[in-house]
Amino acid sequence: MAFEEFAQVSKRRRAERAEKLKKKVLIAVFLGVFLLLCVAGGVLALLHFKDKSDKAHNHDDSKDSSTSKKSPPSQGSNGGDDHAIQTSSKIVQMLCEPTDYKKTCEEALTKLVDVTKSSPAIEPRVIVKTAIAAAADAVVKAADEIGAFKFEKPEEKAAYDVCKKLFEDSKEELGTSVNHTEKQEDFSSRINDLKTWLSAVYSYQETCVDAFPDSKTKDDIKGTLNATKEFISNSLALVSSVATLIQDESKIYEGVLPPGLAPAQAPGPDGWESDLDLESGSARRLMAHRAASAPPAIDEEGFPEWVGRDERKLAAKATVGLVPNITVARDGSGNYTSINECLKNLPENRKERIFIYVKEGFYEEYVTITKKMVNITMYGDGSQKSMITGNKNFVDGVRTFETATVAVLGEGFIGIAIGFRNTAGPQKHQAVALRVQADRAVFLNCRMEGYQDTLYAQTHRHFYRSCYITGTIDFIFGDAAAIFQNCEIMVRKPMENQQNIITAQGRADRHENTGFVLHNCKILPDKGLEPEKLKIKTYLGRPWKEYSRTIVMESNIGELIQPEGWLPWQGDFALSTLYYAEFNNNGPGADTINRVNWPGYKKSISRQEAQNYTVMPFLRGTWIGQANVPAHYNLLS
């Protein structure tokens, strides 16, 4: 047995060395491409100055020999022009090599080379700026074309309303992206933001199409948006290539303190930070500390018996010491009696963080944290005590996008100890409890309750810590880059002849930086499903879009999960392009021996590859540390 273990370790080390070599080779290739670009730029520069020199020489000769016959243009001069054109063409081809739509890319960048002939050395940021600007123009054109469509049916009109919102979001984020390519220092520091914003814009186009029912109109919408998606995909590919050149993305943040964190906030031996230390609106900070010897909090959240002491303490202590700027209370003891009334009266153009305390009660209202409502912390008395509830659903004629009880769009949102519920029930099909479009959104000790499509992790970067998420079909879905850490994924009983699928991740382009990571979670049946957990089939996920990406690692998987683990969407769609992986899970449902045999599925990945999906490498999660939210920054094993 000892020799077998040693062989396994050796095999793992060989795999890790191979992975490191692969990364080094990739970096060398990209550096080689960069060197070629520099050489090509130099060649163009030499040709440019040679051409100027030749013209000056010919001009001087004509003045000195005004009575002599004019010589015919030298063959070398024309050859130089032809050679410059050929070199420019090769540069464009080389730049467009990593893209999926090379013709579209070449047409856009050829104009750039023509414009910059007087200065042939093209900066990477200018290349990216040109590509993004072309994408922005394509979005405007597509929006105008679709706006001219005639929508006769009510469901098509409702779908178009969704598209209009998404087009506005696309224009805004592409505009922001272009602005961050104006200066080199701004561009370099925002390269990962660019990937996030462009991924979101690509997803918006997909969501627009998905809003329409199957029909000729939907096909026409899809066709109109194809060119737009090509431009956005190319922009993503170029940003990713440039990012590889200007950053050492092969570094793994293993055992490294996240930038911006003070030593007191460093992860402890078990990966926990020392305190939940959120900054209040009046610049006051929490002073309460968790003593290791403190007794467990009373289980008022409905946690099962196996929930550990630390998680129970987090539930009890999450909001201790927070000082609200505004209090919402159903009983009239606060500043407002409804959340919407509170949001309507927020100060305009506010940038500093504001704390909204939602006292115990059931708030039957549909809430939207708009894009202008940035840096909001909303916290309650517990995820089952302070609950926002609604029942909008697809069967009653509402598009899935619009069914959310709560929609969060404002950047930097933090939700703590609060619940989000959709009560429509399984018979109403798609019925979202929480839709999150915001970037850098954090949910700590929150509860998301529903059946089909409970949590719509739509776009951008999210971190869910110690949350309780329950549902039946695709109940964690969307195209965000999201990590679910220490969460309880509780599967409910569906309708007759239905099966359960936990995730449906919607990465539609291979260059997007999105995906779902379930890290140190527990995947179990709730009490309603428990008696029939072996009769009703339950799967970890299925590929909603072509490049769907989901990783389950260091999690406890209950026996409710089918041996094959994952479910196809339809036929062989996406089975070779998806990325599904499992790493070091435990529990009766964690055995991968009988898992699916798809080209894109990995039964087991190396520790180094799994590390890529932890907080820092995957989310660039310094923003999580700056919010002082507890997090495992490394793998647990």
Buried b / exposed e along 344-364 (16+ C-beta atoms within 10 A): eebeeeeeebbbbbbbebebe
DSSP 452: B
Instruction: Report how far residue 41's alpha carbon sits from residue 118's, in angstroms, rounded to the nearest whole number.
Output: 11
User: How far is residue 343's CA from residue 356's CA, in Å, rounded to a whole number?
Assistant: 9
How far apart CA 602 and CA 319 sit, in angstroms, is 40
Tokens 């915001």, located at residue = 438
474 is catalytic: yes
Q: How far is the C-alpha of 521 from the C-alpha of 486, rounded, in Å?
A: 5
Please state, in angstroms and rounded to a whole number, the distance separating the CA atoms of residues 155 and 395: 12
Q: Taking Cα atoms as reference points, which of 469, 474, 485 lies closest to residue 526? A: 469
Beta bridge partners of 551: 517, 581
Instruction: Please say whether the beta carbons of 394 and 357 come within 8 A.
Output: no
Task: Extract the tokens encoding 566.
Answer: 């994952």
Query: Which of these, 554, 514, 558, lies nearest to 540 by C-alpha position?
Result: 558
Tell me which of 474, 479, 509, 526 is the catalytic residue. Answer: 474
Instruction: Write the burial class of residue 469 (CB in 10 Å: 0-12 exposed, 13-18 middle, 19+ buried).
Output: buried
Scored b (16 or more CB within 10 A) or e, 557-583 reads bbbbbbebbbbbbeeebbbebbbbbbb
Q: Give the integer Cα–Cα distance in Å for 599 and 601.
A: 6
Tell me the one-letter amino acid at 372: K
d(CA 632, CA 485): 8
Closest CA to 619 of 605, 607, 633: 633
Residues 430-467, buried b or exposed e (16+ Cβ, 10 A)? Answer: bbbbbbbbbbbbbbbbbbbbbbbbbbbbbbbbbbbbbb
Residue with tokens 């517990």: 382
d(C-alpha 255, C-alpha 527), whole Å: 39
305 phi, psi to nearest 5 deg = -60, -30
Task: Give the Cα separation of 236 and 504 in Å (integer).
Answer: 22
Q: What is the 3-state secondary structure (H, E, C) of 316-346?
A: HHCCCCCCCCEEECCCCCCCECCHHHHHHCC
CA distances from 555 to 268, 320, 365, 505, 585 (A): 20, 29, 35, 18, 5
State the Cα–Cα distance between residues 85 and 240, nearest whole angstrom: 27
The residues annotated with a catalytic role in the active site are: 474
